[in-house]
Chains A and B, each alone.
Chain A
Amino acid sequence: MEELKVSGGSKQFIVIKLGDEQYGIDIKYIENIVRMQHITRVPKVDSYLKGVINLRGEVIPVMSIRIKMGLQPDTETKSSRIIILKLEMNGLIGIIVDEVKEVVTLESDQIEKIAYDSKEEKDSFLYGVGKCAGGLISLLDLNSVVLENI
């Protein structure tokens, strides 16, 4: 998979909320954002895989990044959304988020890379932190969030 480039130019991120924390997802991987809907459970798979949904006739797996990142399990609210990601070679996958807030544009100097020697589990899903008017945004490294464990 293509390296996520940090340096050079500006990038757009969708800001989502998981609990109180804000996370950013690179907009180029986002295929669609849909409302919560009935998820068909698939037995005998890892607990973070919540099941599959029907998106315009296609069957798409949905995972909980809360469980994957070791946070409290999701509680479904009116603002819960499923973000459909498209990662090369691996097809579509949905992730459940508490809320979708806004789109921000970050210049490369607004992004601070996280040192890789961080041993903390949660941090390994991030590749950087963005600074903007709305505060700090943890930028998700989709490679490790989604592709791990396949």
Chain B
Amino acid sequence: MDVSQYLEIFLDETDEHLQNLNTQILMLEQEPDNMDTINEIFRAAHSLKGMAGTMGYKRMQTLTHDMENVFSEVRNGNIKVKAEMIDVLFQCLDALEEYNTNIRESADEGTNDNEPLIKQLNEIMNEGKGGAESSSSEEAPAASQAASATGGKKWLEIKLGDSERAVLKEAAKQGQNVYGLTVSIQETCILKAARAFLVFKAIEEDGEIIVSDPPAQEIEDEKFGLDFSLVVVTGSSLDKVIAAAKNVSEIQDVLGDVFDPDQEVSAEEVQETKEKQEEAAEHAAAPAETVPAPAVPAKSNKKAEEKKPAASKPVVNRTVRVDIEKLDTLMNLVSELIIAKNSLVSASTVSGTSSTAVNEQIEYLESVTTSLHESVMKVRMVPIESTVSKFPRMVRDLQKKLGKKMELYMSGEETELDRTVVDEIGDPLMHLLRNSADHGLESAEVRRERGKPEVGSIFLDAYQDGNNVVIEVRDDGNGIDTQAVRNKAIERGVITPEQAENMSEKDSIELLFNAGFSTAKVVSDVSGRGVGLDVVKSKIEALSGEVEVKSKLGEGSSWIIRLPLTLAIIQALMVDIGNEKYAISLGAIQTIEDIPPQDVKLVQAKEVIQLRDLVIPLIRLNEILDIESKKDPEENMVVVIVKKGDKLAGLVVDELIGQQEIVIKPLGKYVSKCKIISGATVLGDGEVALILDANTLI
């Protein structure tokens, strides 16, 4: 069967499972006895194995299979979770990820068999078994006995209800034959439910299925392992029934015998003891659990699947996966619509056709386009969780690599951002975390000397702040040694010694973002190859965001990333300066003030105003933009107070035009030299207005 059409789904789901495994194994390391975690891991490993098998990726299947075995031992309490084991498991996950990458690139899993890993897994298994055997030597023989008692004839385990038993007895009295059957399906089968259905149909031609295990509904939903059991009432012989079932393709084997409803009771008697021993039986049978092991080991799989789907997916999510490009197209169309709407508004005012009716309709159109835009935006928003959830694992690895003790605390993973931003933000964040781990946190000894807890803390907090999303990476390490930064910068020739003397703390920190700057005394493979913070900065600026650093020597530093919630369409305040129109993002604006010219004071030769106990620097936009103001200097000034982080500034403009929804268009490379302009927009009359970037002005 051609499975290539499922490749995408397979890759997506594998990613999900791997991520899940990463998280769960991390949890397992924290609380080795948490049964829920172990079950969850087992389930994820099992699904992975099944999926890899279905898609024909044998190496991936083998590896997950061995991992699953280890988990099953852990679940049964035969192996204790140890640090080495966690390490091996993480390596396995890396190997699986590699397979996945290979498959994504070439639809082939590659040729790496990962034998050392499989060997290590087997060693863990054997160790566990050795321990189990010595501790429960009595159980083992009993277990094997139990295993041979059922020996694949799993219909013996079917529990009958009273009514069913009555039906069977009645049938037996009438001279009908009652058979128990266990049908096992080939492991390579893709449509198990369909095969099971055909088996049902074939048997029902000549008889009646009284009970099935698992119940018919679950079989239909494919919630079973590789086998299922039936109790059948039929007029024909056992051989005929078996032959009919075997006739269905992809059926591995069908076992059957006369089913005695009364004997089932005695079977029930052993049930209890058997159940106790079953786990041991499973592991006794584990070595034999290679490909064609249909009966007992497979059962454990089935059980796991049966028990859990209800818990993990109680409600079916009504979602669709949509290609991001389609959403981009939709977004562009919405942008066009908004421009067209703006044109309509200005056309109606200019041509003088405006009547109440027209205005009403335009207002209605306005509200529709606004909500349309919001909806499209929301569709594109995803929680940053998908990106940040890999960080705990990374920090754990760093801890081992660097020999430092550290802990990552995350909050606000549910904060949502535009999909494209979420995809891009991963690398910069990873870099900042590595930076904190490598340069920020001190070694355990130094921390002890300084009276800090030995285990360093790194925090990653995300939250929404107005029209921005803020992601903060914080550590309680050494902070930034600005003197060392300056010395390094002089050494590198970035600044001169004279410049260094007059440098403020803030400017010194800014030096870190210089290309080719690395303060690590030793180049490690974790961070500090000279590329880094400058890349972080440019990446975030490319997303129209910004980075801010706060640091206190000896106490730690925090890196604050501020990203706009939306990239394409914003609410803006249009202002007039001279004869030109400019837009200022409403998100940055705090208030608008009317200031008499005599209220302007001079502090350090710079103009400031005092506003409700705050001293706010004034920025005369006409001077910065080289425009002649057409306003009388004696008149009251219109001052737009903008905010960046906790800093404020007052922008002096000539006139306010009004609030408008604008579509941001990039200015392109040719005019990228102008940093205070973040983009342009097309106004209703077809003219272009520039968007002022309040952040760079402050």
B643-667 near A? 1/0 per residue, CB < 8 Å: 0000000000000000000000111
B670 touches A41 (CB 8 A): no
CB within 8 Å of B: which A126-149 residues: none
Across the two chains, which residue of chain B brings its CB closest to A146? B670
User: B668: which A residues are within 8 A, CB to CB?
Assistant: 59-61, 90-93
Q: Does A114 contact B (CB under 8 A)?
A: no
With A45-B674, A57-B339, A57-B682 already in contact, the answer to whether A40 and B690 are too (CB < 8 A) is: yes
A34-58 near B? 1/0 per residue, CB < 8 Å: 0000101111111001011110011
Q: Does B589 contact A (CB under 8 A)?
A: no
A42 touches B336 (CB 8 A): no
Q: Does B676 contact A (CB under 8 A)?
A: yes
A45 touches B673 (CB 8 A): yes
Q: B685 to chain A: closest CB distance in Å? A: 10
Q: Does B77 contact A (CB under 8 A)?
A: no
- Taking a contact as CB atoms closer than 8 A, the residue among B669, B676, B686, B688 that contacts A52 in the complex is B688
Q: Does B626 contact A (CB under 8 A)?
A: yes
Q: Does B288 contact A (CB under 8 A)?
A: no
B667 touches A59 (CB 8 A): yes
Q: Does A84 contact B (CB under 8 A)?
A: no
- Taking a contact as CB atoms closer than 8 A, the residue among A46, A63, A150 that contacts B669 in the complex is A150
B680 touches A59 (CB 8 A): yes
Across the two chains, which residue of chain A brings its CB closest to B692? A43
- Taking a contact as CB atoms closer than 8 A, the residue among B624, B670, B676, B682 that contacts A61 in the complex is B670
Distance in angstroms between the alpha carbons of A60 and B444 in the assembled complex = 57
Which range contains the number of B residues in contact with the other chain? 20 to 34
Across the two chains, which residue of chain A brings its CB closest to B663? A57
User: A93: which B residues are within 8 A, CB to CB?
Assistant: 668, 670
Across the two chains, which residue of chain A brings its CB closest to B665? A59
A43 touches B680 (CB 8 A): no
Tell me the count of chain A residues lying within 8 A, CB to CB, of chain B.
24
Distance in angstroms between the alpha carbons of A139 and B627 in the assembled complex = 37
User: B580: which A residues are within 8 A, CB to CB?
Assistant: 40-41
A40 touches B689 (CB 8 A): yes
Distance in angstroms between the alpha carbons of A46 and B674 in the assembled complex = 9
Across the two chains, which residue of chain A brings its CB closest to B332? A57
Q: A150 to chain B: closest CB distance in Å? A: 6
Q: A62 to chain B: closest CB distance in Å? A: 9
- Taking a contact as CB atoms closer than 8 A, the residue among A38, A49, A58, A92 that contacts B671 in the complex is A49
Q: A58 to chain B: closest CB distance in Å? A: 7
A13-51 near B? 1/0 per residue, CB < 8 Å: 000000000000000000000000010111111100101
B677 touches A42 (CB 8 A): yes
Give chain B's interface secondary structure class: mixed
- Taking a contact as CB atoms closer than 8 A, the residue among A38, A52, A150 that contacts B667 in the complex is A52
Across the two chains, which residue of chain A brings its CB closest to B676? A44
A42 touches B690 (CB 8 A): yes
With A57-B339, A59-B682 already in contact, the answer to whether A38 and B677 are too (CB < 8 A) is: no
Q: Does B166 contact A (CB under 8 A)?
A: no
A61 touches B671 (CB 8 A): yes
Distance in angstroms between the alpha carbons of A51 and B687 in the assembled complex = 12
User: B446: which A residues are within 8 A, CB to CB?
Assistant: none
With A57-B339, A57-B682 already in contact, the answer to whether A45 and B671 are too (CB < 8 A) is: yes
Q: Does B402 contact A (CB under 8 A)?
A: no
B670 touches A53 (CB 8 A): no
User: B35: which A residues are within 8 A, CB to CB?
Assistant: none
B674 touches A57 (CB 8 A): no
User: A42: which B residues are within 8 A, CB to CB?
Assistant: 667, 671, 674, 677, 690
With A59-B688, A61-B671, A93-B670 already in contact, the answer to whether A43 and B676 are too (CB < 8 A) is: yes
CB within 8 Å of B: which A65-103 residues: 90-93
Distance in angstroms between the alpha carbons of A53 and B406 in the assembled complex = 54
B688 touches A53 (CB 8 A): yes
Distance in angstroms between the alpha carbons of A91 and B669 in the assembled complex = 8
With A57-B336, A58-B665, A93-B670 already in contact, the answer to whether A43 and B688 are too (CB < 8 A) is: no
A43 touches B670 (CB 8 A): no
Across the two chains, which residue of chain B brings its CB closest to A42? B671
B673 touches A46 (CB 8 A): yes
Across the two chains, which residue of chain A brings its CB closest to B670? A61
Q: Does B86 contact A (CB under 8 A)?
A: no
Most A C-beta atoms less than 10 A away, residue of B339, B625, B669, B688: B688
Across the two chains, which residue of chain A brings its CB closest to B666? A59
Given A42-B674, A45-B671: 5 more A-B contacts, CB < 8 Å: A41-B580, A44-B674, A59-B688, A90-B668, A91-B668
7 closest Cβ pairs, A-B complex:
A40-B688, A59-B665, A61-B670, A59-B680, A43-B625, A44-B674, A54-B682
